[in-house]
């Protein structure tokens, strides 16, 4: 597991060096079942406070985490998603789940956007943490960066592609293990209700030891992961159609 330690970003040369390390690490597109990559980075919390060294590690053993990336501040789809999470933050809290966002913008840009009224394209009123992945290292750790560091023919560091994150989302359990992930291209906004449904499903399986079938919602029956269990479940479904 690669752990990212950084406090401030001074140049993309630092990112290029980190990229070299990451390429030698076993970074995989599918993180489900693996320990969520650790990091310490600046973030804005409670809508106004800048924390110099924010980490998801503080939640291990205590909370579930929805950690999602978005491409950029002061854009178009992004504020709709960020505000949608805020509008249902109480539902996440009811599920013992924290929401944390991240993009490759600087922490000062995050702070400025958080002070901007919504009628002017801002996200004022959002209270959950927004991490500043200005070096793009966290996006590389979670394999959602839409570009990559490289070197030109002279050995100078360059960046190809877009220096922004795709719309990646990771559900991390209380042990720090990724249990669900989804990555959308930049034009495609995510469904907050679907994320809540997946949290319900995870917590159901942990509590009752049963698995959740297709389109399962809280209050539905689960099923035993056995031949008898699936046979019984499908039989009931067929009877409901009659």
Question: Which parts of 152-222 are beta strand (E)?
Answer: 157-165, 167-172, 178-184
Catalytic residue among 4, 19, 78, 212: 78
3-class state of residue 232 by DSSP? helix
- Quote the CA–CA distance of 150 and 20 in Å, as a whole number: 9
Q: How many CB atoms lie within 10 A of CB 29?
A: 9
Residue positions counted in the chain: 242
78 is catalytic: yes
3-class state of residue 52 by DSSP? strand
3-class state of residue 172 by DSSP? strand
- Quote the CA–CA distance of 182 and 170 in Å, as a whole number: 7
Q: Please, are residues 118 and 84 in contact by the beta-carbon 8 Å criterion? A: no
Active site residues per annotation? 78
């Amino acid at each position: 597991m690669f752990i990212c330690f950084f406090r401030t970003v001074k140049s993309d040369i630092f990112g290029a060096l980190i990229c070299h390390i990451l390429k030698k690490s076993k970074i995989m597109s599918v993180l489900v079942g693996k320990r969520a990559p650790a990091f310490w980075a600046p973030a804005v919390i409670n809508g106004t406070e800048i924390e110099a060294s924010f980490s998801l590690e503080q939640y291990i053993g205590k909370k579930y985490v929805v950690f999602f990336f978005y491409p950029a501040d002061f854009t178009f789809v992004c504020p709709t998603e960020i505000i949608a999470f805020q509008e249902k933050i109480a539902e996440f809290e009811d599920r013992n789940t924290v929401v944390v966002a991240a993009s490759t913008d600087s922490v000062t840009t995050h702070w400025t956007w958080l002070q901007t009224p919504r009628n002017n394209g801002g996200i004022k009123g959002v209270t959950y943490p927004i991490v500043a992945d200005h070096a793009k290292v966290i996006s590389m750790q979670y394999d959602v960066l839409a570009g990559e560091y490289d070197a030109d023919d002279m050995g100078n560091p360059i960046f190809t592609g877009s220096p922004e994150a795709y719309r990646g989302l990771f559900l991390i359990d209380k042990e720090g293990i990724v249990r669900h992930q989804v990555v959308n291209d930049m034009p495609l906004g995510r469904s907050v209700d679907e994320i809540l449904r997946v949290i319900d499903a995870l917590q159901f399986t942990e509590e009752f030891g049963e698995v959740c079938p297709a389109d399962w919602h809280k209050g539905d029956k689960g099923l035993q992961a056995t031949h008898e269990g699936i046979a019984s479940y499908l039989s009931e479904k067929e009877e409901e159609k009659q």
